[in-house]
Chain A
Amino acid sequence: MTAPLEWYLVLSAGVFCAGLFGVLVRQSALHFVMAVELMLNAANINLVAFSLEHGNLTGQVFALFGIALAAAEVAIGIGIILVLNRNFDDIDVTEAVTMRW
């Protein structure tokens, strides 16, 4: 059985918006990163789903790359968040405002 493709789109859009929402409201750096992950995965949903539709593997391959890159991104992110915590004793992204205007 196959669900209509539109549903996938709707789903991915939903996930994307959820992620964006998270980005906008969460102050903790970790949550921020997680939210971004959500958005990336939204993209992956599209890719995988439509790779089936289009009958080529490009989408799935790209999805894999996407996951890998997401991992790398998180790795860097965690590192930065660590030093952030070391310097500002906090991982609240809205605290680091020594530079502005």
Chain B
Amino acid sequence: MVDVFNVVEAIALVPLVSFLLVLALGNRMPKKGALSGIAATGFSLAISLLVVLDLATGGEVYHEELFTFVAGDGAGVELSFGLLVDPLAALMLTIVSLISFLVHIFSLGYMNDEGEIGLRRYYASLSLFTFSMLAFVYSDNLLMAFMFFELVGLCSFLLIGFWFREAGPPSAAKKAFLVTRFGDYFFLVGVVAVFATFGTTAFAGDHSFIVEATHVLEPDATGEMNTFLGLGEQAWITVVGLLVLGGVMGKSAQFPLHTWLPDAMEGPTPVSALIHAATMVAAGVYLVMRMYGFYALSPTALGVIALVGGFTAFFAATMALVKQELKQVLAYSTVSQYGYMMLALGGGGYVGAVFHLTTHAIFKALLFLGAGAVIIAMHHNENMWDMGGLKSRMPVTYWTFLFGSLALAGIFPFAGFWSKDEVLFETLQHALSGEPLLLVGYAFGLLAVVMTAFYTFRMVYLTFHGEPRTDTAASPEPIGWSMKFPLVVLGALSVVGGVLNMGVLKDFIGSENLFLKKWLEGKTISGELGPLSAEEYHHILESDFAAGYEVTELSPLGPGALALVLGLVGLGAAVALYRAPEPTPHMTKLGRIRTLLMNNYYLDEFQVWLATGVTAPLARAANKFDQSGIDGVVNGAGSVSMFTGERFRRIQTGIVTNYAALLSLGLVLLLLVFGFLGGWF
């Protein structure tokens, strides 16, 4: 069999080719370029699966430099592009290409059949999006990661603003780019700092900055690094870590930079699915996983991550409780779910985070595509209060959507249950050994579980159950196979996804059957995964020179049961409240609080104020100063000269006698001056 790694570059490059093709002659292509996109992503998916297979059956981690970006000429640092395909990357590649593949197919129904215009732009952007994300995933150094991170941002800008003729989408696109840009600013500072500190930004290899940092902190300090601003080594590492974290919080929509994500719903729904499940938002969390060994060195950084994650999970869930638009609810649930992943990462639950990322990718994509189907059926009306009773009219959508919801709510035995449980459990494990920050995060997490289940099923019931509340709901537009197929696939996956890592039952099935854990620990591959393996991470986490976490041994069953119960409580509440032919909007009873939640705690207003209320006036002031102050001086010099000129001309009175007088005066003046100087008299 041909070594799959010879073509691994193609995973990202093929979508790029498709992008160029569509861009060049999209309008002349069948389905306006959809097919080429499908083909490309399908190809990527195939290769990724082969890679996974290979790694699962004792292949080797693939790490190689592709080309040199800036040689540095011996004097400066070298900037280069390279490939790193380890288990984590392979898994992520598969997820991304899978979701993207399905989204392409779904788009056939969602965009083409609806007769949208500008499809060439749409599919070109989709392909570029896929390319950027895939390249980001297998990039082997921080700089390359940043570059494709930015490109991902660009594509989301293009796709969110796809319907540029309306007012909303362009503004949402701008917001998305700006807010993430703000995060990326810190990220870039971080990248530059890493360069300046370690002279390299490689993730893997014997001299990756992660390894260097570890060696520096190890008791027998063998590594080398520069520190700046007179900070100690661990402190500086923390600073760098937090800087990079800025980018993560922007892209993964963590508080307080989450505001762009709900607005991003302005984009076509398939795009939302892509952004939320696998690409843009996932990128942030993936970055933390990618350089987890680095974060593991700094307890402070981890604490911040956990706290931010936990709080976001809770905070976003509260807002999801009251939303009326289908996609809004999903959007906030995304924010909340990524909060979980951050919580896990901060809490030392590397495996759990990856697990949740995987399952979430599946069921969230499913939910969005389902929502997309509903939206098509409802003629782009997203308000859940105008729906109801769709259950009988679009069964496929209903059942798949239900599975997705159960997964999201974390109900046994759906995928979400296993992963969310892993997250909470691992956090608790480390929290109990005296990590107050983690404990707080864990508490937030638990609260969020209830609310998640609640708003999920509020959504389900409002949408599908009861009586149709509008005519469109009574006779929804039927949807085609191209939309059903992805739903079915994802539905199936979200049922069985949990088998990857049934951590709760590890006492029964034995930890050798925790496939994901083994996978990430590099047990399946031949050769050592070394500093990239989950084992190594835990080792670092628990060593004193680094985070210094300790594990409190306790059975996973207890916490698992607790989470499940809470979930069921939330679910039950939702069912109780909204299981009626004509459900009543209970949330209005919340009154003030509801308004607050509806307005997302006025955070958007706050950010808008930062822009228009602070920056803009400042700019105007600067402009005024520039025009009147600086330029005033310049022009003032001109007018002064003019005035002087006017005065000087007046000396020339035209009367010759005055001339004679002035002449003699000048002479006398000279005489006097030199008389005194020369001492004539």
A complexed with B = yes
A residues neighboring B (CB under 8 Å): 20, 23-24, 27, 93-94, 96-101
Does the CB pair A99–B660 fall under 8 Å? no
Cβ-neighbour of A94 out of B649, B650, B655 (below 8 A):
B655
Given A20-B664, A94-B655, 14 extra CB contacts under 8 A: A23-B664, A24-B657, A24-B660, A24-B661, A93-B655, A93-B656, A93-B657, A94-B657, A96-B656, A97-B655, A99-B654, A100-B653, A101-B650, A101-B652
Q: Which residues from B are CB-within-8-Å of A98?
A: 654
In Å, the complex CA distance between A93 and B658 comes to 11
B663 CB to nearest A CB, Å: 9
B10 CB to nearest A CB, Å: 83
Cβ-neighbour of B649 out of A27, A93, A97, A101 (below 8 A):
A101
Q: Which residues from A are CB-within-8-Å of B664?
A: 20, 23-24
The 3 closest A-B pairs by CB, nearest first: A100-B654, A97-B654, A101-B649
> Could you tell me which residues of chain B, from 216 to 248, have a CB within 8 Å of some CB in chain A?
none
Knowing A20-B664, A24-B664 touch, does A100 contact B657 (C-beta < 8 A)?
no
CB-CB nearest in chain B for A26: B657
A–B Cβ pairs within 8 angstroms, 24 of them? A20-B664, A23-B657, A23-B660, A23-B664, A24-B657, A24-B660, A93-B655, A93-B657, A94-B656, A94-B657, A96-B656, A97-B653, A97-B654, A97-B655, A98-B654, A99-B654, A100-B652, A100-B653, A100-B654, A100-B655, A101-B649, A101-B650, A101-B652, A101-B654
CB-CB nearest in chain B for A101: B649
In Å, the complex CA distance between A23 and B658 comes to 10
B545 CB to nearest A CB, Å: 87
Q: Which residues from B are CB-within-8-Å of A99?
A: 654
In Å, the complex CA distance between A24 and B653 comes to 15
B residues neighboring A (CB under 8 Å): 649-650, 652-657, 660-661, 664
CB-CB nearest in chain B for A29: B656
CB-CB nearest in chain B for A97: B654
B665 CB to nearest A CB, Å: 10
Q: Which residues from A are CB-within-8-Å of B657?
A: 23-24, 27, 93-94
Q: Which residues from A are CB-within-8-Å of B655?
A: 93-94, 97, 100
In Å, the complex CA distance between A6 and B579 comes to 133
A8 CB to nearest B CB, Å: 19
In Å, the complex CA distance between A97 and B661 comes to 16
Q: Which residues from A are CB-within-8-Å of B650?
A: 101
In Å, the complex CA distance between A94 and B661 comes to 13
